[in-house]
């Protein structure tokens, strides 16, 4: 993919400098900091933070255990609700979840307890000598999980715990989904995503087969026939289009493609650097893209959004990160045309200024141009329809473009469950996907056991 | 500013804050630093007969709260481990250099009259303002028949006090041990022996914690430990009660009391004074923070006195004694009910779960539209126990409000429900 940017220069900074720029954005707590911070927790009852956590982690309890110097107990409390608690501790937008709900997050109490950081501390220091959860006696049931992202992994782990055997079918070379391929590098550093997958697989009973793509070499009908149940943990594989001419020109690509490359790069100094860079969009992916390019050494990073600051999808915390990294924000501007140089490469973009007219977004009639060596689209991802091409998959009821599920993550076809970003339930967050996977596993388990009893 | 000066058992001091007999008053160097910092007096660390005591290495351990906040310290240190001659020489010099400060000398010698008869004139010759009899040390010394071994036997307390009054003209303060069942027995004995004052409490027998890897309690000496004397903030409630017991005992009424036990702030001191103390002694707080705390204590106490129109300590000393009584005289008809300030409430739910699980199910939890909970008092169920107010992390959020029941004062001795009530 980076072929589209091969004509660009490489970062000026040395390897050490780049490594530093992509180290932990939020450094881990020290033992002393964890002790101080855990003691700040008021150990609320019916705690608002738990209510705000999509994966329902018993936060007061795990923090209490940290305070009691029982780190393994704290870690087990977290993992029993969220087996990917380690990556969630790093990537969750806690500022709109648990920490926003924290009773200490008000003027009288000064600041919320650093719940995410404490969660990371407990998991980083638990030092389990063996996997903390035991498998139930073998049930003889086999379940197919499609997608080794957070939803699929969470589902597989819970199923394995209940004694079922699981095969995960994954299109890419590595498991982990967005944790491996889509998170800003400074949020989830080194090989943590892979280590977490290894830890999760430590329970046993889970096989991952790579290079398996639904709609490609894999059909839902076959899986449905061969396994006792199927869980679909598909991500959002497709990228929204601008709908402009020259959208395929060298220098213009999806932010997710670049981020994936950046996360996989062994040598950051070999990545193409867009010294003048445009990022289209205003969600967390847009911020991740802009900040990472800035940290690679780009001098002129611009984020352009068609609406106002208040409408941005990125949280306030993310916007602050962008500001601290010299990302310039342009609001009320819509991509109007890709500008190319003589060689047919991107040299900039023309924007149409926008405004709200009777509540609808419209053009003011004014335009302006921004010069750029590369343009990154971060205007949202879409569900990839190709995956649901086979006859059975085509029958799945949909909720908009996504797969329709009920509260137990059941699709319209008995025996097929779905969760994570491919469903419309809840928010598109790692922690939400983990919860979906867990709920689906419980539903599958309940159904299979019911069938056993009936038999 | 209010006048903080005192005359306690005939001893003058510019303020009521004295350092207790302990490591901070072990030698001239420390005592001079204390006086420079502003302490009104010191009780010099306990002198004994030569040869001087020998201490072990590793002497203190602590009981911690959250964030390593020290609730209390336990110590196994003995009385001074320096010779009598050095101590007496230093005491003489310090008193000469600091004539306006109270300098009391703590003493502990074997329970024979000859020993006291020997040491008392030597101490009196230093120019010290008074002596304090260490009948309280709970560790080490009792095994040798001294300290708490004396303080726990009222007859010994009375006898030794009398010897001191006989062989010395200085004011005699008897320091009491809390390791007894009824502090009044010790105070009465001291009073009968002619004591000019009592000071209390000395430290409480304690083990603060156990090293679970080595399976030995703290503080660790080699691979052993022993019980020590507990002091610091955690012992304040015990000390306040004992001070109050003596202050309201008709047999010891008027006997000057020097309050000791967990005093670290001006408010602590004011509370001891309100329960009858004429002076206070501090140790643990100084050991944790240094001598500078006395400035904050003086400043805080003087400002509080100014705000309340107390020109001297005598103006409020003992004012809380009359309000401290036996349970049987409490007003059975008094009723208070918790009230939660909804604007101050942060929604932690601690009041609810405390009341629900362990008290009277008098705080309702209501789920709000946003998924959080609101908490309100069910007044008909509330017994006014204070538990919700205690567990609430927000100061002032839960208020215990006195109810107008329309019923007159009635105590248990008058209550018709009491089968043993006094005949009417």
Q: For B58-80, what is each residue's pLDDT tens digit?
A: 999 999 998 889 999 999 999 99
**Integer Cα distance of B68 and A17 in angstroms:** 38
Cβ–Cβ gap B348/A52 under 8 Å: no
State whether residue A188 sits within 8 Å of chain B by CB: no
Band (pLDDT 50/70/90 cuts) for residue B423 is: low
Averaged pLDDT for residues A125-151: 97
For residue B365, list chain A residues with Cβ-Cβ distance below 8 A. 46
For residue B346, list chain A residues with Cβ-Cβ distance below 8 A. 42, 103-104, 106, 108-109
| pLDDT at res. B422 | 72
Same domain for B102 and B248: yes
Residue owning tokens 């805080």: B300
Averaged pLDDT for residues B225-239: 97
Averaged pLDDT for residues A152-165: 98
**With contact defined as beta carbons under 8 Å apart, do A118 and A34 qualify?**
yes
Q: Do domains A31-124 and A239-380 have the same CATH topology?
A: no
Cβ–Cβ gap B344/A108 under 8 Å: yes
Band (pLDDT 50/70/90 cuts) for residue A24 is: very high
Examine the fold and report which residue of B247, B281, B315 is the final residue of a domain before the chain moves on.
B315
CATH code of the domain containing B109: 3.20.20.70
| pLDDT at res. B146 | 79
State whether residue A39 sits within 8 Å of chain B by CB: yes
Nearest to A431 by CA among A89, A135, A176: A89
- Tokens read off for B252: 């010891």
User: Residue A439: in which H helix or E strand, if any?
Assistant: helix A430-454
| pLDDT at res. B424 | 53
Band (pLDDT 50/70/90 cuts) for residue A237 is: confident
CATH code of the domain containing B346: 3.30.70.20
Same domain for B344 and B296: no
Which ipTM was obtained for this model?
0.83
Cβ–Cβ gap B350/A104 under 8 Å: no
Check whether B216 has a pLDDT greater than 60. yes
- Tokens read off for B20: 């207790």
**Integer Cα distance of B33 and B22 in angstroms:** 15
Nearest chain A residue (CA) to B392 = A42
Q: What percent of chain B has pLDDT over 90?
A: 93
Distance from CA of A109 to the nearest CA of B (A): 9
Band (pLDDT 50/70/90 cuts) for residue B191 is: very high
Nearest to A333 by CA among A360, A301, A363: A363
Cβ–Cβ gap B393/A101 under 8 Å: no
Q: Which residues contact B189 (CB under 8 A, 6 or more apart)?
A: B154, B155, B157, B158, B161
State whether residue A69 sits within 8 Å of chain B by CB: no
Cβ–Cβ gap B346/A35 under 8 Å: no
Domain A142-237+383-454, CATH number (from 3.40.50.720, 3.30.1330.40, 3.50.50.60, 3.30.1200.10): 3.50.50.60
Averaged pLDDT for residues A13-23: 93
Class of the CATH domain delimited by A239-380? alpha beta
Band (pLDDT 50/70/90 cuts) for residue A451 is: confident
| pLDDT at res. A114 | 98
**With contact defined as beta carbons under 8 Å apart, do B72 and B231 qualify?**
yes
**Integer Cα distance of B186 and A313 in angstroms:** 74
| pLDDT at res. B330 | 97
Nearest to A163 by CA among A131, A205, A208, A207: A205
Same domain for B344 and B306: no
Q: Which stretches within A13-168 are classed as H helix?
A: 15-21, 31-40, 48-52, 59-67, 71-81, 85-91, 98-101, 115-124, 150-161
Residues of B annotated as part of the active site: 137
Cβ–Cβ gap A36/B67 under 8 Å: yes
Q: For B367-410, what is each residue's pLDDT tens digit?
A: 999 888 999 999 999 999 999 999 999 999 999 999 999 999 99
Check whether B149 has a pLDDT greater than 90. no
Distance from CA of A44 to the nearest CA of B (A): 5
> Quick one: fold of A31-124?
Fumarate Reductase Iron-sulfur Protein; Chain B, domain 2 (1.10.1060)
For residue B353, list chain A residues with Cβ-Cβ distance below 8 A. 45-46
- Tokens read off for B36: 């420079």
State whether residue A31 sits within 8 Å of chain B by CB: no
The answer to whether residue B232 is domain-embedded is yes
State whether residue A96 sits within 8 Å of chain B by CB: no
Q: For B285-334, what is each residue's pLDDT tens digit?
A: 999 999 999 999 999 999 999 999 999 999 999 999 999 999 999 999 99
Check whether A1 has a pLDDT greater than 70. no
Same domain for B148 and B95: yes
Q: Which stretches within B168-234 are classed as H helix?
A: 183-192
Mean pLDDT over each residue of chain B, to the nearest integer? 95
Same domain for B238 and B103: yes
Averaged pLDDT for residues B153-182: 96
State whether residue A51 sits within 8 Å of chain B by CB: yes
Check whether B137 has a pLDDT greater than 80. no
Number of domains in chain B: 2
**Between β-strands B70-75 and B60-64, what pairing exists: parallel, antiparallel or unpaired?**
antiparallel
Check whether B218 has a pLDDT greater than 80. yes
**With contact defined as beta carbons under 8 Å apart, do A191 and A152 qualify?**
no
Check whether A336 has a pLDDT greater than 80. yes
Any bridge partners for residue A453, and if so which? none
**Integer Cα distance of A367 and A337 in angstroms:** 10
State whether residue A66 sits within 8 Å of chain B by CB: no
How many other β-carbons are positioned within 10 Å of the β-carbon of residue A43?
17
Q: For B77-104, what is each residue's pLDDT tens digit?
A: 999 999 999 999 999 999 999 999 999 9
Same domain for B97 and B199: yes
**Integer Cα distance of B403 and B333 in angstroms:** 10
Cβ–Cβ gap A101/B352 under 8 Å: no
Task: Indicate which of B64, B65, B67 best probes the interface with A, i.e. most A CBs within 10 Å of its own CB.
Answer: B67
Map out the domains of chain A as residue ranges: 31-124, 142-237+383-454, 239-380
**Integer Cα distance of A216 and A209 in angstroms:** 14
Provide the residue range defining the domain that includes B200. Answer: 6-315
Same domain for B154 and B280: yes
Q: How many residues does chain B have?
A: 424
Band (pLDDT 50/70/90 cuts) for residue B142 is: confident
For residue A48, list chain B residues with Cβ-Cβ distance below 8 A. 347, 371-373
**Residue B222 buriedness (CB in 10 A; 0-12 / 13-18 / 19+):** exposed
Per-residue DSSP letters for A266-313?
S-GGGS---SEEEEE--SHHHHHHHHHHHHHT-SEEEEE-SS-GGG-S
Check whether A455 has a pLDDT greater than 70. no
**Integer Cα distance of A403 and A394 in angstroms:** 10
Say whether A227 sits in a helix, a strand or coil: coil
Same domain for B377 and B273: no
- Tokens read off for B186: 């010790």
For residue B344, list chain A residues with Cβ-Cβ distance below 8 A. 108
Distance from CA of B414 to the nearest CA of A (A): 42
State whether residue A67 sits within 8 Å of chain B by CB: yes
- Tokens read off for B140: 């080490």
Check whether A218 has a pLDDT greater than 90. yes
Q: What percent of chain A has pLDDT over 70?
A: 100
Same domain for B265 and B377: no
Same domain for B143 and B206: yes
Cβ–Cβ gap A47/B393 under 8 Å: no
For residue A45, list chain B residues with Cβ-Cβ distance below 8 A. 348-350, 352-353
DSSP label at residue B118? H
DSSP label at residue B229? E
Q: Which letter, b or e, does each residue of A69-92 get, where b requires 16 or more Cβ atoms within 10 Å of its Cβ?
A: ebbebbbbbbbbbbbbbbbbbbbb
Q: For A372-415, what is each residue's pLDDT tens digit?
A: 999 999 998 888 888 888 889 999 999 999 999 999 999 999 99
Cβ–Cβ gap B348/A51 under 8 Å: no
Averaged pLDDT for residues B47-51: 94
Nearest chain A residue (CA) to B367 = A46
The answer to whether residue B322 is domain-embedded is no
Check whether B350 has a pLDDT greater than 90. yes
How far CA B104 is from CA of B262, B281, B314, in Å, comes to 20, 11, 21
Q: Say which of B68, B344, B349 has its CB closest to residue A46.
A: B349
Check whether A162 has a pLDDT greater than 90. yes
The answer to whether residue B287 is domain-embedded is yes
Same domain for B375 and B306: no
- Tokens read off for A210: 């790579």
Same domain for B342 and B289: no
Nearest chain A residue (CA) to B366 = A46
């Amino acid at each position: 993919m980076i072929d589209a940017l091969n004509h660009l220069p490489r970062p000026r900074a040395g390897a050490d400098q780049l490594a530093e720029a992509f180290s932990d954005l939020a450094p881990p707590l020290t033992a002393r900091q964890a002790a101080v911070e855990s003691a700040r927790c008021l150990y609320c009852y019916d705690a608002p933070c738990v209510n705000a956590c999509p994966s329902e982690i018993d936060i007061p309890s795990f923090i209490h255990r940290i305070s009691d110097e029982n780190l393994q107990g704290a870690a087990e409390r977290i993992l029993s609700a969220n087996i990917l608690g380690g990556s969630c501790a790093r990537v969750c937008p806690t500022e709109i979840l648990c920490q926003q709900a924290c009773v200490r997050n008000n003027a009288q109490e000064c600041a919320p307890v650093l719940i995410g950081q404490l969660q990371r501390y407990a998991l980083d220091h638990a030092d389990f000598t063996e996997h903390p959860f035991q498998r139930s006696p073998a049930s003889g049931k086999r379940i197919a999980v499609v997608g080794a992202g957070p939803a699929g992994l969470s589902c597989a782990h819970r199923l394995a715990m209940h004694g079922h055997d699981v095969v995960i079918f994954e299109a890419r070379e590595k498991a982990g989904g967005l944790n491996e391929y889509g998170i800003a590098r400074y949020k989830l550093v080194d090989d943590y995503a892979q280590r977490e997958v290894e830890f999760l697989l430590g329970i046993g009973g889970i096989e991952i087969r790579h290079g398996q793509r639904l709609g490609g070499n894999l059909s839902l009908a076959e899986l449905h026939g061969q396994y006792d149940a199927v869980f679909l943990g598909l991500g959002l594989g497709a990228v929204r289009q601008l709908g402009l001419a020259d959208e395929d020109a060298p220098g213009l690509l999806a932010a997710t493609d670049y981020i994936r490359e950046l996360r996989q790069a062994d040598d950051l100094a070999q990545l193409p650097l867009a010294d003048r860079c445009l990022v289209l969009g205003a969600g967390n992916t847009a911020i991740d893209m802009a900040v990472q390019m800035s940290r690679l050494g780009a001098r002129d990073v611009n984020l352009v959004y068609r609406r106002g600051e208040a409408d941005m999808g990125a949280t306030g915390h993310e916007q602050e990160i962008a500001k601290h990294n010299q990302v310039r924000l342009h609001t009320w501007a819509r991509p109007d045309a890709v500008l190319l140089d003589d060689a047919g490469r991107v040299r900039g973009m023309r924007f149409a200024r926008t405004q709200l007219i009777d509540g609808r977004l419209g053009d003011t009639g004014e335009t302006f141009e921004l010069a750029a060596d590369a343009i990154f689209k971060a205007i949202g991802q879409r569900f990839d329809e190709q995956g649901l091409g086979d006859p059975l998959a085509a029958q799945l009821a949909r909720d908009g473009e996504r797969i329709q599920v009920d509260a137990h993550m059941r699709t319209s076809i008995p025996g097929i469950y779905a969760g994570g970003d491919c469903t419309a339930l809840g928010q598109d967050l790692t922690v939400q996907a983990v919860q979906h996977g867990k709920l689906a596993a419980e539903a599958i388990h309940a159904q299979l056991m019911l069938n056993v009893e009936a038999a | 500013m209010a006048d903080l000066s005192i005359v306690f058992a005939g001893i003058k001091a510019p303020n009521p804050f004295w350092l207790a007999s302990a490591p901070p008053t072990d030698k001239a160097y420390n005592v001079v630093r204390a006086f420079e910092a502003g302490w009104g007096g010191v009780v010099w660390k306990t002198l004994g007969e030569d040869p001087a005591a020998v201490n072990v290495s590793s002497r203190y351990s602590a009981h911690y709260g959250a964030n390593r906040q020290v609730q209390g310290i336990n110590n196994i240190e003995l009385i001074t481990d320096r010779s009598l001659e050095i101590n007496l020489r230093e005491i003489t010099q310090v008193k000469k250099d600091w004539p306006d400060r109270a300098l009391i000398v703590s003493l502990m010698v074997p329970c024979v009259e000859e020993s006291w008869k020997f040491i008392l004139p030597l101490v009196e010759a230093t120019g010290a303002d008074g002596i304090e009899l260490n009948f309280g040390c709970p560790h080490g010394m009792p095994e040798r028949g001294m300290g708490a071994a004396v303080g726990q036997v009222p007859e010994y307390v009375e006898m030794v006090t009398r010897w001191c009054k006989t062989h010395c003209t200085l004011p005699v303060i008897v320091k009491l041990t809390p390791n007894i069942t009824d502090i009044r027995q010790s105070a009465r004995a001291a009073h009968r022996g002619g004591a000019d004052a009592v000071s209390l409490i000395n430290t409480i027998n304690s083990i603060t914690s156990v090293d679970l890897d080595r399976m030995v309690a703290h503080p660790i000496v080699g691979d052993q430990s022993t019980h020590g004397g507990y002091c610091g903030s955690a012992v304040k409630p015990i000390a306040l009660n004992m001070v109050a017991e003596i202050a309201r005992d008709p047999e010891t009424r008027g006997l000057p009391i020097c309050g000791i036990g967990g005093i670290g702030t001006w408010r602590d001191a004011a509370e001891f004074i309100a329960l009858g103390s004429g002076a206070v002694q501090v140790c643990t707080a100084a050991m944790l923070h240094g001598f500078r705390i006395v400035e904050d204590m003086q400043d805080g106490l003087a400002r509080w006195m100014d705000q309340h129109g107390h020109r001297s300590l005598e103006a409020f000393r003992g004012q809380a004694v009359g309000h401290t009584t036996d349970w049987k005289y409490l007003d059975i008809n008094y009723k208070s009910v918790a009230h939660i300030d909804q604007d101050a409430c942060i929604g932690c739910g601690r009041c609810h779960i405390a009341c629900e699980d362990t008290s009277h199910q008098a705080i309702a939890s209501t789920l709000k539209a946003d998924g959080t909970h609101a908490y309100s008092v069910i007044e008909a169920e509330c017994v006014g126990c204070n538990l919700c107010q205690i567990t609430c992390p927000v100061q002032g959020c839960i208020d215990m409000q006195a109810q107008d029941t329309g019923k007159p004062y009635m105590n248990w001795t008058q209550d018709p429900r009491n089968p043993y009530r006094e005949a009417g």
